[in-house]
């Protein structure tokens, strides 16, 4: 072999190694992480997307394969920017299981009713909205990082899973990822096409051409976003989670085919659309570990499991909710992530699920009686959240024992929250029969009334599904009240 041939072969090997390195660095973008592929962009990208978040006893990282199991919370928001308050439209726990050489994706359904720390009972997608609406010590909105922190705390409180890494992508970022890689292929069913076209342009305000036929086809970022968001067809939110996972998987496949020259541009474009607390050195470790996996096929799980949903309907004043058996769903989640075990419905305790449903039924009946709520008037599955029945007043917390509620005066002497009169007339103060505290009925004029919430168009405790905020502002969110039934 001539010296010239030897030089050419070495040059070819070097190019292959360089290409392999670029692909390695970019693989983690499958999970929506922006990794700068050129060190010249390092500081520029880092300053834009890095958010400091240091849990206690955090270990130092080096450029090595990651051992064990690493969980990253992937959050898709419905905000136009990462600085404004928004809800989490999708919640996915991405697990890098290097023990078993797998990547796992767990979707948590957004309508799952949970206990949000400091806010009480609400849908899990409200956690991000509440957290992003909070202010720091300087009076500045916490935004995306505040939303991520509260959502991670909510998951830990309800499912016992500690998370300390997150990636947040808003709608614009989702579109940009797919457009930068030249689109992806999805298989659109006949019952999905109308819904996909309905959502196109809704989130970002820019309309792409409608999809005109079913079957496997290439879609752009906006069309893929619409496909991932539809929820009122097929098996509802269950299929929605599956669509989102499919889109992530297609992005993973496409990234390996993209011209390496585009990687820096992808990172630059997405730097405005993504927030993460994973610094680039740590991200490189994760990318390196993922690259060494024998396959990029994802194992998928959905929480809650269908058989472990106690109820799937309107609940109290919280809109359409999934009321679940937390104990069994938490076990399924932990087994999937840490024990590499897929759920077996034959092992589920269905009697326990029925008991959970009975507890929710009892709690709802007591709550509705206390606040004069008639759920049959809110039979609208599209209404995401129904207004809190006691806005801007001291709310009486339902008794834990499930008995009849009593109106205790507020500790601070504020307005009492009492049951409105049945006939809707002018409020009058009825003297107590035996010397007790009187029951004050609210006035008809509407001054801080505790009346039945409106059927249509009232202020909402969390932004509605169509993307509109409370009076155009998510900052109007109220802290909900109520307790989760004992399980």
Number of domains, the chain = 3
Asked if residue 239 and residue 130 are part of one domain, the reply reads yes
Which of 282, 308, 334 is a domain's end point? 308
Which residues is 432 bridged to in the sheet?
A: none
Asked if residue 332 and residue 424 are part of one domain, the reply reads no
Asked if residue 372 and residue 237 are part of one domain, the reply reads no
Pairing of strands 102-108, 320-324: unpaired
Label residue 390 exposed, middle or buried (CB < 10 Å: 0-12, 13-18, 19+).
buried
Report the alpha-carbon distance of residue 478 to residue 459 in Å, rounded: 10
Whether residue 467 lies inside any domain: the answer is no
Q: Name the packing angle between helices 350-371 and 326-338 (round to 10°).
A: 130
Question: DSSP assignment of 309-371, as one string?
Answer: EEEEEE-TTS-EEEEE-HHHHHHHHHHHHHS-----GGGS-HHHHHHHHHHHHHHHHHHHHHH
Per-residue pLDDT tens for 240-296? 767 877 887 788 777 767 776 676 677 776 677 788 898 878 887 887 788 788 877
Per-residue pLDDT tens for 384-435? 443 333 333 333 333 333 334 333 333 443 443 333 334 444 444 444 444 4
Whether residue 204 lies inside any domain: the answer is yes
Report the alpha-carbon distance of residue 129 to residue 461 in Å, rounded: 10
Which candidate, 204, 351, 232, 41, places its Cα nearest to that of 224? 204
Report the alpha-carbon distance of residue 445 to residue 426 in Å, rounded: 8
Asked if residue 413 and residue 288 are part of one domain, the reply reads no
**DSSP letter (8 states) at residue 15:** H
* 152-161 residues labelled b (16+ CB within 10 A) or e (exposed): bbbbeebbeb
Report the alpha-carbon distance of residue 249 to residue 252 in Å, rounded: 5
Q: Provide φ and ψ at 95, rounded to 5°.
A: -115, 120
Whether residue 483 lies inside any domain: the answer is no
Report the alpha-carbon distance of residue 209 to residue 160 in Å, rounded: 44
Whether residue 114 lies inside any domain: the answer is yes
Asked if residue 272 and residue 137 are part of one domain, the reply reads yes
Distance separating the N- and C-terminal Cα atoms of the chain: 75
Which candidate, 104, 69, 71, 64, places its Cα nearest to that of 282? 64
In this prediction, residue 158 carries a pLDDT of 98
Q: What are the DSSP E strand ranges found in 203-347?
A: 215-219, 274-276, 298-303, 309-314, 320-324
Distance of CA 271 to the CA centre of its chain: 21
Per-residue pLDDT tens for 434-483? 444 444 444 444 444 333 333 343 333 333 333 333 333 343 444 444 45
pLDDT band at 55 (very low <50, low <70, confident <90, very high): low
**DSSP letter (8 states) at residue 479:** P
Whether residue 468 lies inside any domain: the answer is no
Q: Which residues contact 346 (CB under 8 A, 6 or more apart)?
A: none
Could you tell me the CATH number of the domain that includes residue 211?
3.40.630.190
Report the alpha-carbon distance of residue 35 to residue 27 in Å, rounded: 9
Whether residue 472 lies inside any domain: the answer is no
Q: Which residues contact 26 (CB under 8 A, 6 or more apart)?
A: 35, 37, 255, 258, 263, 266, 287
Q: Strand, coil or helix: what is 481? A: coil
Whether residue 386 lies inside any domain: the answer is no
Domain range holding 249?
A: 27-308
Asked if residue 268 and residue 147 are part of one domain, the reply reads yes
Asked if residue 50 and residue 83 are part of one domain, the reply reads yes
pTM summary value: 0.64
Half-sphere exposure of 109 (CA within 13 A, CB side): 26
Are the CB atoms for 337 and 95 separated by under 8 Å? yes
Asked if residue 288 and residue 152 are part of one domain, the reply reads yes
Instruction: Count the Cβ atoms, other than its own, within 10 Å of residue 410.
Output: 14
pLDDT above 50: residue 73: yes
Asked if residue 225 and residue 331 are part of one domain, the reply reads no
Asked if residue 36 and residue 135 are part of one domain, the reply reads yes
Which of 291, 308, 325 is a domain's end point? 308
Which of 260, 288, 308 is a domain's end point? 308
Could you tell me what percent of the chain has a pLDDT over 90? 27
Per-residue pLDDT tens for 74-122? 998 877 677 777 788 889 999 999 999 999 999 999 999 999 999 999 9
Per-residue pLDDT tens for 110-158? 999 999 999 999 999 999 999 999 999 998 988 889 999 999 999 999 9
Asked if residue 276 and residue 223 are part of one domain, the reply reads yes
Report the alpha-carbon distance of residue 183 to residue 208 in Å, rounded: 13
Whether residue 255 lies inside any domain: the answer is yes
Asked if residue 275 and residue 222 are part of one domain, the reply reads yes
**DSSP letter (8 states) at residue 28:** G
């Amino acid at each position: 072999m001539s010296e010239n041939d030897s030089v050419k072969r070495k040059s070819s090997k070097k190019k292959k190694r360089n290409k392999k390195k670029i692909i390695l660095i970019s693989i983690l973008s499958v999970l929506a992480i922006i990794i700068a592929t050129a060190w010249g962009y390092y500081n520029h990208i880092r300053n834009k997307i890095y958010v400091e978040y240091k849990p206690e006893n955090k270990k130092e990282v080096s450029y090595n394969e990651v051992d064990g199991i690493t969980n990253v919370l992937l959050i898709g928001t419905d905000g136009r920017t990462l600085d404004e308050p928004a809800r989490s439209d999708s919640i996915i726990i991405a697990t890098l299981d290097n023990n078993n050489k797998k990547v796992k994706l767990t979707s948590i359904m957004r309508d799952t009713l949970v206990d949000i720390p400091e806010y009480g009972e609400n849908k899990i997608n409200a956690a991000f909205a509440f957290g992003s609406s909070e202010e720091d010590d300087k009076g500045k909105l916490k935004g995306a990082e505040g939303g991520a922190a509260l959502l991670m705390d909510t998951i830990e409180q309800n499912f016992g899973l500690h998370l300390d890494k997150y990636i947040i992508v808003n709608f614009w970022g989702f579109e940009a990822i797919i457009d930068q890689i030249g689109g992806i292929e999805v298989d659109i069913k006949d019952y999905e096409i109308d819904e996909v076209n309905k959502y196109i342009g809704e989130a970002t305000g820019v309309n792409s051409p409608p999809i005109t036929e079913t079957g496997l086809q290439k879609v752009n970022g906006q069309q893929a976003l619409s496909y991932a968001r539809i929820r009122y067809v097929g098996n509802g939110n269950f299929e929605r989670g599956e669509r989102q996972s499919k889109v992530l998987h297609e992005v993973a496949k496409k990234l390996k085919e993209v011209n390496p020259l585009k990687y820096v541009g992808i990172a630059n474009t997405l730097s405005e659309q993504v927030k993460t607390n994973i610094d680039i050195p740590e991200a490189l470790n994760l990318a390196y570990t993922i690259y060494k996996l024998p396959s990029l096929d994802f194992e998928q799980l959905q929480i809650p499991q269908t058989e472990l949903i106690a109820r799937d309907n309107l609940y109290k004043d919280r809109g359409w909710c999934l009321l679940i058996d937390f104990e069994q769903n938490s076990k399924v989640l932990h087994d999937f992530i840490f024990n590499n075990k897929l759920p077996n419905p034959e092992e589920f305790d269905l009697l326990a699920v029925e008991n959970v449903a009975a507890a929710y039924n009892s709690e709802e009946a007591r709550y509705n009686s206390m606040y004069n709520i008639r759920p049959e008037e809110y039979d609208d599955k599209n209404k995401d959240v129904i207004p809190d029945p006691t806005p801007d007043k001291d709310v009486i917390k339902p008794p834990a024992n499930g008995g009849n509620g009593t109106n205790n005066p507020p500790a601070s002497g504020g307005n009492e929250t009492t049951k409105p009169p049945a006939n809707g007339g002018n409020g009058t103060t009825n003297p107590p029969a035996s010397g007790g505290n009187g029951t004050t009925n609210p006035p008809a004029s509407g001054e801080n009334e505790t009346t039945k919430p409106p059927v249509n168009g009232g202020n909402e405790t969390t932004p509605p599904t169509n993307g509109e905020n409370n009076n155009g502002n998510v900052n109007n969110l109220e802290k909900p009240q109520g307790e989760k039934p004992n399980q």
